[in-house]
Amino acid sequence: MLRYILVISLFMNFLYASQLGISEKLGDSVSLDLKFINEKSEVVTLRELMDGKPTLLTLNYFRCSGICTPQLNDMADMLGRLDLEENVDYRVLTVSFAETETGPLAAAKKRNLLASMTRAFDTDAWSFVIGKDGSSKVLADEVGFYFEKDVLSNGNVEYIHGAALIVLSPEGKITRYLNGIDQLPFDVKMSVIEAADGKVGPTIAKTLLFCFAYDPKGKTYVFVWEKIAATVMITIVLVFFIWLVKSGRKEDDHQKKGEDNE
């Protein structure tokens, strides 16, 4: 009997866990008309927050005592080392799904994170917002980010959730998920370039996209040796062909000069 109870318990835990976490929805689009409250307590749309740029999206809540703090701290560190220009090449958006939180709390979180960065960062490039009338839940569902409200014995409310950096194209299409709390600047840079369709830093962007590809198993960008090897081989063949053509022309010219001298 105990064995059956354990099996049922494990099965119920599995069902519960399957409702949380992140279900990737690559290629889907988010609703740009969703409304949020920013750190100035103003109502703004997702379209205004993204401002027509690739956007790095995180879903958190500002009073979180768990995974949110290390995730956002690492994000601040990573953004400080990212060799793209914020507010030009990309924007950053942190959305609180705890709609009881306030603009001043969002402003305090933003202020603390920006102060921790190793360089001056455009304050307008990273927005901290709170859902309005259920908009954060709608956005979370659209990107496949699932969380659960947990009321503690002391009455405090916490949320059980995962962590991911979700990349959106300027049009709101979901282009990449970078799961976990620590992200490499290079992976984020490649994701932004992908989201912008290679238009960020025009020449280098296209070169990087050619040389590197996203590995869904390793969840990172890897060097594509096959492409480089093929390019080198084609280059060698072309150079050899050009050399043959030029050599043939020189030989023909030499023969013609010899005939003229005779």
In a domain, 254, yes or no: no
The answer to whether 96 and 60 are in contact (CB under 8 A) is yes
At residue 43, the pLDDT reads 98
In a domain, 103, yes or no: yes
In a domain, 234, yes or no: no
At residue 226, the pLDDT reads 55
Domain carrying residue 123: 9-198
Residue 185 sits at the vertex; the CA angle it makes with 183 and 188, to the nearest 5 degrees, is 75
Q: Which residue, 60, 260, 240, 243, is CA-closest to 162? A: 60
At residue 104, the pLDDT reads 97
Cβ-proximal residues to 43 (8 Å cutoff; 6+ apart), any chain = 35, 36, 37, 132
CATH code for the domain in which residue 37 is found: 3.40.30.10
Cβ-proximal residues to 34 (8 Å cutoff; 6+ apart), any chain = 45, 46, 135, 138, 139
In a domain, 102, yes or no: yes
The answer to whether 200 and 54 are in contact (CB under 8 A) is yes
The total number of structural domains in the chain stands at 1
Residue 164: what are its φ and ψ, rounded to 5°? -160, 155
pTM of the full predicted structure?
0.71
At residue 41, the pLDDT reads 96
In a domain, 87, yes or no: yes
In a domain, 88, yes or no: yes
| Average pLDDT score over the chain | 80
Render pLDDT for 186-228 as a digit per residue (tens, 0 to 9): 889 988 998 998 444 333 344 444 454 545 565 554 555 554 5
For residue 35, what are its two tokens?
């409304």
Spans of the chain below 70 pLDDT: 1-20, 155, 198-235, 237, 243, 247-262
At residue 251, the pLDDT reads 62
In a domain, 92, yes or no: yes
Reported residue count of the chain is 262
Render pLDDT for 29-48 as a digit per residue (tens, 0 to 9): 999 999 999 999 999 999 99
In a domain, 63, yes or no: yes
Amino acid at 61: Y
